[in-house]
Structure 1
Amino acid sequence: MRFVREPVVILNTLSAVLGLIVSLGFTGLTAVQAGVTVALVSAILGGIAAAMTRPIAPQAFTAIVAAGATAVAAFGYEVSQETVGAVNTLVLAGLTLLTRAQVTPSKDPAPTGPTAV
């Protein structure tokens, strides 16, 4: 199962995609509501990814920075929903690439390749 092997990549990608959908206005939310939603989604899915990896710290850092950057963009500056989504996606993409090499799944998944007899 690929999800067990790559929880960081899958959950952070899902977070970025959901953030982009919200930020592009497909949900009918205001800019503030979109910012809160994107920050919460990033924090929750990042927390789940952190719980599924060892060590926890790199992915927890990613979740905190992504949610924080989104919140700063949404509340610290007068920016559009699209900008909030772009900030969230950029931060998640960059940190996911850095985090992926530093963590492993917390459960040892079954091998996917052929095994020696």
Structure 2
Amino acid sequence: MTQAQRDTLHRLVFDYLRHGQNRRALALAMLLASRDDEADPAALRALAVALLAVGRPAQAIEVLDRLDREEPPAAARHLLRGRALHQLGEIEAARRAFRDYLDAPDRQQVAA
């Protein structure tokens, strides 16, 4: 798959999410992230977002843990982890994740 094709599918994942087509978004996100030789952090983040949208926070945390092993900490990942933990009812852990988001040096990039 070319980079242009991957970029198009990535945009389509978020378009589907924006319009409430969460299952379709998840299917595309899984396709993008399924190829280990081509999976990139953006595809894994899209997968985590789609998993949260369909109510699968435990799987989203697994994806976020994988991202933690592959790249340095990022504000967006703290925010997603907080949402996942909140969905799981782990309120105190979610608060810590949200605090980590607020303290993250790259938070301004996420808010923009």
TMscore range, shorter length: 0.3 to 0.5
Q: TM-score, normalised by structure 2?
A: 0.37
Give the number of the structure whose alpha-carbon radius of gyration is greater: 1
Higher RCO by CA contacts (8 Å cutoff, separation 6 or greater): 1
Bigger fraction of residues in helix: 2
